[in-house]
Chains A and B, each alone.
Chain A
Amino acid sequence: MFRDGTSVLFHDTGEKRQHRAPYLVDNVDSKLVLTDQDEVIETVDFWERADYFDHQTSTGKNMQILIGNRPQRFDVTGSWYCHFWDTPGGGCKYCPIGAQGGEKKKKGEVLLTDPKEIVEVLAEGIKQRGRFANILITTGSILSGKQLLDDELNYHIELLKEIGKLFKTDRFPSQLIGTAYNREQLERLYNETGLMSYTADIEVLNETAFNRLCPGKAKFIGYQEWKKRLKIAAEIFGRGRVDTGLVTGTEIGNGIGFRTEDAAFAAVSEEAEELAEAGVSVAATIWQPSDIAILKNAKNPSLEYMIRISREFERLRLKYNLAVDFDDYRRCGNHPNTDLARLR
Chain B
Amino acid sequence: MGAIIDERLKQIINDKNSLKVIASQNVDGELHVVYKQSLHVIDEDLLEFYEIIESSQNNKNMVNSIWYEVPVAINILSEDRKSFEIKGVAHKAHVAGKYFEEKYVQLTDKGYYDLSTVWQIKVIEVNEKTFKVKEQEALEQHPSYRHLDQLLKD
Contact = CB atoms under 8 A, between A and B. Distances in A.
Interface of A: 1, 3-5, 45, 47-48, 71-72, 128-131, 329-330, 342-344
B96 interface: yes
B12 to A, nearest CB: 27
29 contacts: A3-B92, A4-B66, A4-B67, A4-B93, A5-B93, A5-B96, A5-B117, A45-B97, A47-B96, A48-B98, A71-B96, A71-B97, A72-B96, A129-B104, A129-B105, A129-B108, A130-B104, A130-B108, A130-B115, A131-B96, A131-B101, A329-B95, A330-B95, A342-B60, A342-B63, A343-B60, A343-B67, A344-B27, A344-B60
A130 B101 contact: yes
Contact of A5 (B64, B95, B115): B95
A302 B17 CA distance: 54
B60 A48 contact: no
Given A48-B96, A130-B104, A131-B101, A343 B91 contact: no
Nearest to A323: B55
Contacts of A131: 96, 101
Q: How large is the interface on B (under 10, 10 to 19, 20 to 34, 35 or more residues)?
A: 20 to 34
Nearest to A71: B96
Given A5-B117, A343-B27, A72 B108 contact: no
A3 B93 contact: yes
A329 B54 CA distance: 12
A130 B105 contact: yes
Interface in B96-118: 96-98, 100-101, 104-105, 108, 115, 117
Contacts, number: 53
A344 B27 CA distance: 8
Given A3-B66, A3-B93, A344-B60, 18 more contacts: A1-B96, A3-B92, A4-B66, A5-B93, A5-B96, A47-B96, A48-B98, A72-B96, A129-B101, A129-B105, A130-B108, A130-B115, A131-B101, A330-B96, A342-B60, A343-B27, A343-B63, A343-B67
A342 B63 CA distance: 7
Contacts of A343: 26-27, 60, 63-64, 67
B63 A4 contact: yes
Interface of B: 26-27, 54, 60, 63-64, 66-67, 91-98, 100-101, 104-105, 108, 115, 117
Contacts of B63: 4, 342-343
A330 B97 CA distance: 12
Contacts of A344: 26-27, 60
Nearest to A129: B105
A5 B101 contact: no
A6 B34 CA distance: 25
Contacts of A71: 95-97
Contact of A130 (B27, B54, B64, B100): B100
Contacts of A329: 95
A329 B83 CA distance: 37
Contacts of B101: 128-131
A342 B54 CA distance: 9
Nearest to A7: B96
B90 to A, nearest CB: 8
A4 B67 CA distance: 8
Q: Select the residue from A4, A131, A330, A344 with max chain B CB neighbours within 10 A.
A: A4
The 4 closest A-B pairs by CB, nearest first: A130-B104, A71-B96, A130-B101, A5-B95
A3 B95 contact: no
A71 B97 CA distance: 7
A3 B46 CA distance: 14
A329 B60 CA distance: 13
Q: Select the residue from B91, B94, B100 with max chain A CB neighbours within 10 A.
A: B100
B118 to A, nearest CB: 10
Q: Select the residue from B96, B97, B101, B108 with max chain A CB neighbours within 10 A.
A: B96
B1 to A, nearest CB: 27
Contacts of A130: 100-101, 104-105, 108, 115
Nearest to B117: A5
A205 B27 CA distance: 30
A71 B101 CA distance: 11
A343 B54 CA distance: 11
A94 B26 CA distance: 39
Contacts of A47: 96
